[in-house]
Structure 1
Amino acid sequence: MCAACFAADAPQPAGKPQSAASAAHPAAKGHQLDHSGRRQVGKASYYARKFAGRKMADGQPMNPREDNAASKTLPLGTKAKVTNLDTGQSAVVTIQDRGPYVDGRIVDLSPATAEKIGITKKDGIAPVEVAPIAVPQPDGSIKPGVAAADPS
């Protein structure tokens, strides 16, 4: 079962966790994959620490100290620059899971990544821009994203 993607301070899970077998589904239910490499703007939350070690959609265990993230629409394996629009702080993540399962949220971050970009436990969420750097394509190729020229 992959980590249920919701803000660490949320009083209840925001959706149903998926099994690793759900990785066969290209995107979270009701969402299409975005292979365009365009920016997305919305809110970010982060994984609760209790999900450390649980399988993500790509089959890897969730490591709260690594720069992993969940997206409903970006293909697994996408590298993206996530910028907190309140602080201006950024980090590069790899999309390894599906979620978040709360309307308006576009990405769930590992606790380490959330800390790097200034998302606090008190707030739990922040407005972010997700700018893809490298987007896996259905044919196996990699498409440069909007942030490919400036991943830092």
Structure 2
Amino acid sequence: MSTLESIQARIEALQAKADALLAKESEGALQKIHELMSRHGLSISDIEGYSGARKKAGRPGSVKKQSTKQSTVAYQDPKTGATWSGRGRAPGWIANAKDRTKFAVGASEPGTKTKSKSGVATKRKKAGQPRGPQPALYRDPQSGATWSGRGRAPAWLASIEDRTPFLIG
């Protein structure tokens, strides 16, 4: 049976072997890097200059930090004055809002008319179908089953061409 001391001794021996292997691999990689640098006439300052320019450019889609004077505030809570840029996870005061335009900074009052690209004043409206459960439009008189008219028609209504007798109200 192994004792705690013998297990710890084995762990230390294995850790020493792992460190030696890592050092050997690192030495080989450094030799390759040195060989490539000398072959292409590069210095450390060339490498630092190249990687420094890469870091400054940033990666696509990243948000660069701005000073507080130039921060882009898209939304503001009228009660507390808390702000949000519109990027990242939405804070609690706006997360469940269906219409975020009332929190927009510098926006006109909700429901006001805006000018489109053609210069004609139009009222904004949401496109597409509403989300969530919809009220029933059709009812089966025999079973009492209902259908909202969205999605695939149920079996009791799928084969019927004239659906008007099944309309509710």
TM-score higher than 0.5? no
For the superposition of Structure 1 and Structure 2, which TM-score range results when normalised by the shorter chain? under 0.3
More helix by share: 2
Task: With the length of structure 2 as denominator, give the TM-score of the two structures.
Answer: 0.19
Greater RCO, CA 8 A, separation 6+:
1
Structure exhibiting the larger radius of gyration computed from Cα positions: 2
Instruction: Decide which structure has greater strand share.
Output: 1
